[in-house]
Amino acid sequence: MVHLVAAPETITASGCACVFIDTIFRLHGFPRELVSDRDPRFTADFWRSVFKSLGTRLKMSTSDHPESDGQTERANHVLEEILRGYVHSFKSWSEFLPMVEFAINNSVHASTTHTPFYVNGLRHPRVPTLLECNSGLRGGGTRAKKNRFGSRSSRSDEEVIAFDADIDDIDIEEDDASESAEAPTEEKVDVAAVRS
């Protein structure tokens, strides 16, 4: 699964540890492996000792070949493509991270033929469109459901649909990163990924 957190460039190793515990550990426990791009915040003695004591293998890429894990690199590419449009369109782009995370985790991946939500918990999350179609809800038919859950044209519904469309536009199976034009440095989005 993908988990996204906005963090300042100046975050410390201790700050990374807090974010890691708050966003990964509390939901999934410690991963068997953590893939890192040799960021000093992950190579610090603190992290090495924490991972060693918990039995987690810390895999570092080499300076000659930073793409040590193709799956992580592909996820980072997809994430960069999605976020690039929101960074330029919205000043507070970080508020879209939860919706981007949801859309990525609710998209079928070619390698598994399932969504990360399903792979992780053997279920698909309920979303407003599914609630409306679910005839098993108490309170009657569609009109009662619309009154209870509000109009489907709410901002969050539109955001989910927009993010799903953005992800559908990116071919997750093919790695065409080398064919696409690189964005100027100021348009780059820095991405770090943890895979459990």
Q: Which two tokens stand for residue 56?
A: 């987690």
Torsion of CA 23, 27, 28, 30, to 10 degrees: 50
> What are the chain's domains?
13-187 (3.30.420)
In the structure encoding, which two tokens stand for residue 122, read together? 């053997």
Tell me the range of 59-68, 87-96, 104-113, 126-135 where mean pLDDT is highest. 104-113
Whether 60 shows a pLDDT value over 80: the answer reads no
Tens-place pLDDT, residues 153-177: 455 555 555 656 555 555 444 444 4
For residue 59, what are the β-bridge partners?
35
Contact 28, 119 (CB under 8 A): no
Identity of the highest mean pLDDT range in 46-60, 84-98, 175-189: 84-98
pLDDT for the residue numbered 152? 40
CA atoms within 13 A on the CB side of 144: 8
| Alpha helix (H) residue ranges in 12-171 | 13-20, 26-28, 40-43, 45-54, 70-89, 97-105, 116-121, 128-133, 142-149, 155-169
Q: What is the pLDDT of residue 160?
A: 58
Q: State the pTM of this model.
A: 0.58
